[in-house]
Structure 1
C-alpha cells in the first residue's frame, strides 16, 4: 500500500487520443460509451478518477483504449457505463467488458489481418503487436464493474476512491503501432458527384474516391483524416428492404440498422448525458414535428419546393456537440419523391451507410404517409446526401484499402451503358464526321456536330454536354478517331464494328 486514495495523486499519460479525455489524479478509468463524458465528470472530483473518456467502436476505439491502460499501470479500477440504446447497438462497452470477463485469442480481423480477437459476440480486435503477456497481466490487474446509469457510475467511482491507494501493477508498457500513409493522386478538392444503384455500391465508390484523391489533414481532435469537400452521393435504386451484400462488407448489419432507423424516425425524451437523437431534433426539439409538417406541406402543395426539415440550432455554435446532419429537403417531380440531406461532417467509412439507410427509411415513411392520407401514390425517387466534409479517419485507412481491393473492381465491371446525357450516332457524310446527339429514352435528335478533326469534335460535344459520363466521353474519342482514320483511308466506317 502507498497511502490513502485521497492523499495520493497519480498522473494519467495517454499515448492515443489525448485531447478527447478528461484527466484526474485517482486510480479509476471511467468509460462512458455514448454518454457525454462531461455529464459524469461534473458529479466527481478530479481525485476520484484517473481518466474519463467515451468509447464508440469495438473495432477502432477499444484497441487504443487498451494501449493507454497498458501505459498507465497506476489505473487499478475500471467502470464502464453501458446504459443507452446507442451503447447496446454499437456494442463497444460490452466488448470491453468481455475483454476483462472472457479474455481473447489469436485470430483474424474483418480485413484478414492477424490480431487478438476478443471472446465476445461483438467483433473486437487488439493489435497483434501487443504482447500477449501484457494483455493477460492487464486483465488480471484491474478490477472492473459495469454501470447502467450516471448515478450508478458516480457511486461506484466514489466507492473506489475511498479505498487505500494501490501500487501500480507494473511498469508502463508501450508497443509499436503500424501506420498507413496513403498515396494521394491529383484531383479536385471541392465538389464531387458519385452515383450508384444501391447504398452498398455507392459506398464503395465513395471510399475509393476519398482514398484516391482526398486531402490528408489533421482532425479537430487527435489523429488525421483524408477528406473531400462537398461530396454529393446519389442512390437511385435502393430496394425497399435494403440491400446487404453477401458476404456483408458494410460496417453495419440489419440488427444495427433497425435500431438506427428508430433514432431518426422516433422522438426521444431528454436524458442527462445524451446530446440528442436525429429523431428528437426532427420531432420535438423546436416545438414542432417537422416530419409531420413536410407530409402536410406536400399533400397540400405537391409541387412545393419548401418541404424542408432543419436540425441545426443556433445554440449549437455556443455549446458544441452540434449534429452532423443539418438539413433535409423533400421534393416531388414527375410523381417521384426525392430526398436530399446535407451533413456538415461525415465519417464516410463508419457512418455513411447507416446515415444513408436511415434517411432512406425516412424518405419511405414520408412517401407511405402521403399515400395513406391523400390521393398521391408517389414513386421512390433518388436519395442524395451532400457531405460537406466527407472524410475517412486514419484508424480505418487499412480497412478502406482492403474494401477497395476486394470490392471496387467487381463494382466497376457491372457496366451500365445508360447515360442521362444521351446517345451519339457517328457517321461519315460527304467527307465529314457527323455526330448526332439523341435523348436517352425516345431517341429525339437534340444536336448535331460535324467536322474532320476527331479531337475538336469531342471537345465540342463535352462542352455542350458537360455531364456526359467520363467513360462515354472516352468511347466517343476512340470511335471518332476510328471514323477519322476511315475518312483518311477511304474505308467504310460502321459505328461499334470491329
Structure 2
C-alpha cells in the first residue's frame, strides 16, 4: 500500500520535562540511557523522529516517559539504545524494555506508595493514577527495538521511517493525560552558605547530608523542568570508611556493590573517546590534558611527602564554550603526620542519587594513591578522611518522596549513634569558692588548655563557645544544661556532681 500523504507531520507535546527532549515531526521515539541525545539527533532529520531523550534512572524517569508516550499516540515505534556501560549501569533502558516485554503488576514503590511495578529485575514503577488499560494499549501498539550502537540506532530509526512511508500508520488512540501528585516540602530557616557534616562512613554521612538539605535547603527552579532544594558550599567529611566500602543491611543507599564495581573504573581508569559520551572522570584525570595526573600526584608525594601541591584538575577552560562540563572539578591529596587525606571539589552535586557513588569512587582513588606510594617507597601511610566540597549540594524534586522515607527510617537511628569525642576536647565542671569553674582539656591526653570561671551560666557558655567556635552543637547543649545545674547548686548550697542528678 502506498501512502497518499507521505509528508504528514506530527508534533510531539510532552506533559513532563519538555526542556530535556529533542523534537521532530515523525513517529519514532528514541530513548538512550547516558548516551547524549544529540549524538543520535545529529545523524537524523527532524522528520525522521518524533522525540529523542535520555532515561537516566528507572525510578525517576520511566513514570514520566510513559505518561509522555500516552499523551502522544502518534508515536508507534520505539528505539532503545544500550550503547555504553554507563547506559547499562543506569538500569533505566533495561527496565523500559521489560515494561514492553513483560508488563506490570500492582505493587508498592520504595516509599510504600501503591503503584504499578514493572516486571523487571530493575526497580521501576508507574503511578497508580495511570489507567491499566491505557498502559496495555501502549504496550500493544508500539513496536520496540533494542540497539547497541549509535549507528544501529540511526539505521533502525530509518527502517521504521521506511515502514511509515510504505503504509500509513495511524495514531493508536487519542492523547491521554492523567493527574500527577506533587510534593511540597516544609523548609525550616537555616544557613544557605557554608555547611559542615561529618560521619564515620559514607552511608552515615549521606543520611546526614540528605536530612540537612531537605530540612533547610532553598527551593529553586532548575534548568531541567523541575525544582531542587539546595545548600551552597557543603563540606562532607568521611572519617572511617573501611576498605571495600560499608553497605548497610538492608542497603538503603542508592547504589549497590555491583554498581560500584562498574562505576570505579570511570574514576580510576583512562577510557578512549566514544561518541555520545562527553567524558569520564578517569579520562579527564589520565589523558585529557596529555598527562596522567594520578601518576603525577603519586610521584610528587613520593618525592616530597608533605607537599601541598599534589593537585589534579578535571576542569578544562574549553568547557565554558562547549558545555557538558564535569561536575567533579578539582582533587587535592595531602599527607600530614603519616595520614593521607583527599579533598574533592564538585561544582554541582546530586546528593541523593550521585554523592554516595561519587564518594566511593573518590575513596577508591585515595586508596589507590596510598597503595602505590606504599609499593614504591618506604612510606606506609594511614588512610585519613575523605572530604568533598559540594558547591551546589542539591536534591531534585522527583526524589523528595524517597528522601522523606529515608529520613524517617534512618536519620533518627543514626542520630542516636553519638560519638562523644569532641575535637575541641573535654570540659570538667566544678563548683568551688563560690564560683563555677570549667576546665578544658585536650581529647585523649587530657592536657589542660583553658580555664573559665564565673557565676552566670549563660555568660560562661558564651565565653566557652566564643573561645572554641568549632565545638559540637550537642556538646554546647550539654554544657548549657550542666552549667545551669551548677548555677542552681551554687544558689542552693547543694553539692554539684557533673553528669549526676
Q: 1:418 aligns with which of 418, 421, 428?
A: 421
Contact 1:6–1:161, Cα closer than 8 Å, also in 2 = no
Contact 2:315–2:326, Cα closer than 8 Å, also in 1 = yes
How far 1:3 sits from its partner (Å)?
A: 3.7
Contact 2:235–2:388, Cα closer than 8 Å, also in 1 = yes
Counterpart in 2 of 1:178? 181
Secondary structure at 1:220 match in 2: coil
In structure 2, what is the Cα distance between the partners aligned to 1:435 and 1:222? 55
Secondary structure at 2:107 match in 1: strand
Counterpart in 2 of 1:363? 366
Secondary structure at 1:428 match in 2: strand
Counterpart in 2 of 1:76? 76
In structure 1, what is the Cα distance between the partners aligned to 2:176 and 2:361? 42
Counterpart in 2 of 1:323? 326
Secondary structure at 1:186 match in 2: coil
Counterpart in 2 of 1:349? 352
CA RMSD in angstroms, aligned pairs only: 1.0
Counterpart in 2 of 1:87? 87
Q: Does 1:201 align with 2:204?
A: yes
Counterpart in 2 of 1:217? 220
Deviation track 1:91-111 (CA, whole Å, cap 9, x = no partner) reads 111111111111111111122
In structure 1, what is the Cα distance between the partners aligned to 2:170 and 2:77? 12
Q: Does 1:409 align with 2:412?
A: yes
In structure 1, what is the Cα distance between the partners aligned to 2:3 and 2:170? 9
Contact 1:192–1:230, Cα closer than 8 Å, also in 2 = yes
Deviation track 1:167-205 (CA, whole Å, cap 9, x = no partner) reads 111111111111110000000000000000000000000
Q: Does 1:141 align with 2:141?
A: yes
Contact 2:15–2:68, Cα closer than 8 Å, also in 1 = yes
In structure 1, what is the Cα distance between the partners aligned to 2:95 and 2:484? 60
Counterpart in 2 of 1:111? 111
Contact 2:28–2:78, Cα closer than 8 Å, also in 1 = yes
- Please give the residue correspondences for 1:51-66 in structure 2 after superposition, counting only pairs within 5 Å: 51-66=51-66
How far 1:218 sits from its partner (Å)?
A: 0.1
In structure 1, what is the Cα distance between the partners aligned to 2:241 and 2:67? 40
Contact 2:33–2:88, Cα closer than 8 Å, also in 1 = no
In structure 2, what is the Cα distance between the partners aligned to 1:64 and 1:428? 65
How far 1:2 sits from its partner (Å)?
A: 10
Contact 2:102–2:119, Cα closer than 8 Å, also in 1 = yes
Alpha-carbon distance change, 155 to 4 in structure 1, aligned in 2, over 3 angstroms: farther
Contact 1:6–1:47, Cα closer than 8 Å, also in 2 = no
| Structure 1 residue ranges, 4+ long, deviating more than 6 angstroms after superposition | none
In structure 1, what is the Cα distance between the partners aligned to 2:449 and 2:223? 50
Q: 2:383 aligns with which of 380, 396, 401?
A: 380
Alpha-carbon distance change, 2 to 205 in structure 1, aligned in 2, over 3 angstroms: farther
In structure 1, what is the Cα distance between the partners aligned to 2:48 and 2:269? 37
Counterpart in 2 of 1:307? 310
Counterpart in 2 of 1:396? 399
How far 1:32 sits from its partner (Å)?
A: 1.8
Secondary structure at 1:408 match in 2: helix
How far 1:139 sits from its partner (Å)?
A: 0.3
Counterpart in 2 of 1:36? 36
Number of residue pairs the alignment of both structures matches: 498
Counterpart in 1 of 2:123? 123
Q: Does 1:476 align with 2:479?
A: yes
Contact 2:340–2:382, Cα closer than 8 Å, also in 1 = yes
Secondary structure at 1:359 match in 2: helix
How far 1:382 sits from its partner (Å)?
A: 0.3
Gaps of 5+ in 1: none
How far 1:5 sits from its partner (Å)?
A: 7.5
Secondary structure at 2:391 match in 1: strand
How far 1:6 sits from its partner (Å)?
A: 4.2
Contact 1:6–1:162, Cα closer than 8 Å, also in 2 = no
Compute the TM-score of the two structures, normalised by the length of structure 2.
0.98
Q: 2:281 aligns with which of 254, 278, 289?
A: 278
Contact 2:33–2:90, Cα closer than 8 Å, also in 1 = no
Counterpart in 1 of 2:450? 447
In structure 1, what is the Cα distance between the partners aligned to 2:2 and 2:416? 67
How far 1:277 sits from its partner (Å)?
A: 0.5
Contact 2:56–2:92, Cα closer than 8 Å, also in 1 = yes
